Structure 1
Amino acid sequence: MSPTPTLARRFWEAIEPVHAVAYFAPEPAEAARALGLIGWWMGYFAGRLAPLGPVRAPEASALCFAFAPARVARALPDAWAYTTPEKVLDTRLGAVETALSRVLPPVGTRHLEQLTDLLETAVEDCGHEGRALAAAWSGVPRPDGVLGRLWLASTVLREHRGDGHVIAVAHAGLTGLEAGLTHAATGNVPRELLQSTRGWTDAQWETARRRLVAKGLLDRDSRLTRSGGTLRRDLEHATDRLAADPVTRLGAAGVEEAIRLATPLARHLVDRGVIPVPNPIGAPRP
């Protein structure tokens, strides 16, 4: 039996689909192409890292180390020859607002304002020690509209959690690829989906698999061993623990209220197929 999800994990599950519209709705990709960015992945890395400025491939790979460095290097720094981080950020925010206005259920402005206020309050106490992406996105000026504000707050919170996950993985002595293999071994996300979206070759995947077998974390059928299962649970617990700042800021009652308000939005996005499940993020239907 799976352990009861922590409050921090339930909070993430409820708001992640709102952020993930940036990856799965067509409007952000179309906006990136209109700026001259070539291919979906160039738009992805430029859009996600734009608040950091014209970041290069080595730094981008360090921040997004679940992805194969070759995939990152095909996008950056070439993206900055076509446009600027400022233009990418501006068009991304506008495109996401357009997408959310199209795909969110008609819950009413007051519902969205209440949720947005809670998420912006949660952001206020997010520490940025070792969390470059969360720090960068927290410095983006708030948009005027509630949908832009909602997306930006959910983005800061998910990057805060994601940066914490990177810290936990690195502390456990795993590479980004090895962490991906252990994730696939849980059965929550198919190997094919993770490998194809993260850009790892079959040879790279096999080499990492052999390392994990040698470490006693996977068996020869790529299933988690007892030690591997313990490590994976420890990783998730550490990620939840490192995501405690917004939970502490809102308190249990505030987080539960945010979950109550966000869950109908997230379920609508999943049920309408805007956010697929399973997905490489690992976000379930709340």
Structure 2
Amino acid sequence: MQPSPTLARRFWEAVEPLHALVYFTPEPAEAARAVGLTGWWRGYFAGRIAPLGALGGPAAAALFFAFSPVKTGYALPAAWTQAAPEKVLDARLDAVRSALDRTLPTDRTGLDELVDLLERAVEGCAFEGRPLAAAWSDVPRPADPLGRLWLAATVLREHRGDGHVIAVTHAGLTGLEAGLTHVATGAVPADLIQRSRGWTDAEWDGARRRLVARGLLDRGGRLTKSGGTLRRELETATDRLAADPVMLLGESGLTRAIELAAPLSRHLIDSQVVPLPNPIGVPRP
């Protein structure tokens, strides 16, 4: 069951890999180690949350509620005893520039135009109730096109991601339960989500039983009719909450941005920089 291809969803699919290479290339992990962070996941959580400062505990668990609190708690606030948020942020920005320069096609015709369109799209974003997107929007704009590209793509994806959290909680699901319903759509394998998000077998099983009791999953873990309806409503709400850039750029501007971004993202996927399937659930645009 795949969601309908709204402009907001097509925009996300075209732009997301330009952000997501940060999770799959060696440069960011090496940069995190270089500033003193131990363990890949400390680099992941500290890197994503750095613009908000040295958060940890319940605040970090709330922001990353798709992950097990145990996994989040391993990383934060301990990461801040190893490296300050400012150092983590600077290292991450430098690393993604290098990663993009290495992995993008050598022919980058239209890159400047794409950067301008993405930065204009960011200007259309409202940040009420969206802490990660708001924090990243306050990061000073880099001077170089690749740094600007990644930062704009990051603000847009965190804007959509924060909106997705709003939609999930409004639907009455926990982050773990939302993960199980995502798996049930067939978009991503169960073991990939469970392993990457840090849920134990007991936690995964308990969430599955709750969803079965609510009539959202059958005993085989498949979406029921009610579950399918809820999942479609969830994706529709996520698209609606991600509509700010669409409204600002309009159909022609969004279409042009997709036209420029999609070949770059396809290259990252086709060259296996961003794997398929992936925990994010982003497909090849």
1:226–1:76: structure 2 CA closer, same or farther, 3 Å change rule?
same
SS at match of 1:106: coil
Q: What is the deviation of 1:4?
A: 3.5
- For residues 46 and 83 of structure 1, the distance between their equivalents in structure 2, rounded to whole angstroms, comes to 9
- Alignment gaps of 5+ in structure 2: none
Letter in 2 for 1:12: W
- For residues 249 and 57 of structure 2, the distance between their equivalents in structure 1, rounded to whole angstroms, comes to 36
Whether 2:236 is the aligned partner of 1:228: answer: no
Q: What is the deviation of 1:56?
A: 1.1
- For residues 245 and 16 of structure 1, the distance between their equivalents in structure 2, rounded to whole angstroms, comes to 16
Whether 2:107 is the aligned partner of 1:80: answer: no
Q: How does 1:42-191 map to 2 (within 5 A)?
A: 42-108=42-108, 110-191=109-190
Letter in 2 for 1:193: L
Q: What is the deviation of 1:35?
A: 1.1
- For residues 278 and 69 of structure 1, the distance between their equivalents in structure 2, rounded to whole angstroms, comes to 24
Letter in 2 for 1:218: L
1:134–1:234: structure 2 CA closer, same or farther, 3 Å change rule?
same
Runs of 4+ off more than 3 Å = 1-4
1:111–1:174: structure 2 CA closer, same or farther, 3 Å change rule?
same
- For residues 2 and 116 of structure 1, the distance between their equivalents in structure 2, rounded to whole angstroms, comes to 29
**Structure 2 contact 3–235 (Cα < 8 Å) conserved:** no
Q: What is the deviation of 1:57?
A: 2.3
1:14–1:65: structure 2 CA closer, same or farther, 3 Å change rule?
same
Which residue does 1:258 correspond to in 2? Answer: 257
Q: What is the deviation of 1:111?
A: 1.2
- For residues 98 and 183 of structure 1, the distance between their equivalents in structure 2, rounded to whole angstroms, comes to 33
- For residues 59 and 53 of structure 1, the distance between their equivalents in structure 2, rounded to whole angstroms, comes to 11
Which residue does 1:205 correspond to in 2? Answer: 204
- For residues 10 and 61 of structure 1, the distance between their equivalents in structure 2, rounded to whole angstroms, comes to 29
Letter in 1 for 2:12: W
- Alignment gaps of 5+ in structure 1: none
State how many pairs are aligned. 285
1:113-138 Cα deviation digits (max 9, x unpaired): 10000000000010001000000000
1:101-157 Cα deviation digits (max 9, x unpaired): 00001233x511100000000000100010000000000000010000000000000
Letter in 2 for 1:9: R
- For residues 218 and 99 of structure 2, the distance between their equivalents in structure 1, rounded to whole angstroms, comes to 43
- For residues 167 and 34 of structure 1, the distance between their equivalents in structure 2, rounded to whole angstroms, comes to 35
Q: What is the deviation of 1:34?
A: 0.8
- For residues 113 and 60 of structure 2, the distance between their equivalents in structure 1, rounded to whole angstroms, comes to 34
- For residues 138 and 38 of structure 1, the distance between their equivalents in structure 2, rounded to whole angstroms, comes to 27
Q: What is the deviation of 1:67?
A: 0.2
Q: What is the deviation of 1:3?
A: 5.4
Q: TM-score scaled by structure 2?
A: 0.99
SS at match of 1:54: coil
- For residues 172 and 244 of structure 1, the distance between their equivalents in structure 2, rounded to whole angstroms, comes to 19
1:59-116 Cα deviation digits (max 9, x unpaired): 11101100000000000000000110000000000000000000001233x5111000
Percent identity over the alignment?
70
Q: What is the deviation of 1:58?
A: 1.1
Letter in 1 for 2:202: A
Which residue does 1:15 correspond to in 2? Answer: 15
* Coordinate RMSD, CA, aligned: 0.8
Which residue does 2:213 correspond to in 1? Answer: 214
**Structure 2 contact 103–273 (Cα < 8 Å) conserved:** yes
SS at match of 1:74: helix
